[in-house]
Amino acid sequence: MIQFIDVIKRLDNRRILDELNLNVRTGETYVIIGGSGTGKSVTLKHMVGLMRPDSGQVLIDDSDIGNADSKQLRRLRRKFGFVFQDAALINWLSVGQNIALPLREHTDLSEEEITETVREKLALVSLSGIEKRLPSMLSGGMRKRVGLARAIVMNPEIILYDEPTAGLDPIMTSAISHLIADLQHRLHTTSVVVTHDMESAYVVADRIGMLHQGKVIWEGTPDEIRRADNPRVSAFVEGRYDPNLDEE
C-alpha cells in the first residue's frame, strides 16, 4: 500500500531521509519508532504529499504521490485519515461539526446523512451523544478519540497516527492503544503509527520499524523487537535510549 524507494529529503542542507526504503503492507499496522530528529514526522508528511522527495519515489497504492499534480494529489489524499498529536480540533466548532467538516467539504451527503455518519463514528470510538459539546469541554483522552472519529469519517483506506498517546496517563494510553487496535480489526484499514511509547506499539503493531539518521535500521514484529540484538533498538525498547547516538 505504501512504498518508499531510495527517498532522499534535505532540510537546511541536512539529509533528514537518507535513501529511505520502507514498505507498509495492505491491511497492516506499521509502527515507526526512533529518536527525535530521525525523520519520523517527515516520513508521514511524504506519505500525504505535504513534502516531496528530493529524489526517490513515494508510492501510494502504486501511484507516485511525489510527482502527482494537484488533481491526482487530491484523489490520493482521500485515501488517508490523519490523527494529529494534539487532535487539532477547531475550538469554536462543536464535536459534531468538527467530525462533519470533511463530509461537508468533500461529499454531497445530505444533513441527515452527515448527522447519521457522525453518530456512527462517535459510537465507534465510544463517545456517543457528545455531538454538541465544544472541544474545551473534553478531557485529553476524549479529544484524542474525537480526532480519531474525524480521521475515519470518510472511511479512509489508510490512517496515519502522529504520537496518538502523547500527553496521556497510562490508563488512557492503554485505552487509546486498544481502541486503535480494535478499529484496525473492524475497519480493515492500513495504518502507520509514529510513537515513542513502546507499550502502545506492542498493542497496535503488526510490524515495527526503527528509523536512525533517515534510514530504517531494524524492522520486525513486536515479539522480534523484544529479542533484537541491535544496541540502538534494545536501548530504545528498554527506555535507556541516548539521543546522542544519533550524532555518531
Query: Which tens digit of pLDDT belongs to each residue from 196-220?
Result: 889 999 999 999 999 988 899 999 9
Q: Is the pLDDT of residue 32 over 90?
A: yes
Q: Strand, coil or helix: what is 51?
A: coil
Confidence of residue 241 (pLDDT cuts 50, 70, 90): low
pLDDT for res 243? 58
The three cell numbers locating residue 2: 505504501
Q: Report if residue 219 sits inside a domain.
A: no
Q: Report if residue 109 sits inside a domain.
A: yes
Neighbours of 185 (CB within 10 A): 9
Q: Report if residue 214 sits inside a domain.
A: no
Q: Report if residue 132 sits inside a domain.
A: yes
Q: Report if residue 181 sits inside a domain.
A: no
Q: Report if residue 6 sits inside a domain.
A: no
Q: Report if residue 87 sits inside a domain.
A: yes
Q: Report if residue 151 sits inside a domain.
A: yes
Q: Which is nearest to 118 in space by CA: 193, 107, 174?
A: 107
Which residues on adjacent β-strands are paired with residue 228? none
Task: Over range 26-38, report the average pLDDT.
Answer: 90
Backbone φ/ψ region at 176: left (φ over 0), alpha (ψ -120 to 50), beta: alpha
Instruction: Tell me which residue range forms the domain holding 105.
Output: 82-155
Number of compact structural domains in the chain: 1
Q: Is the pLDDT of residue 247 over 50?
A: no
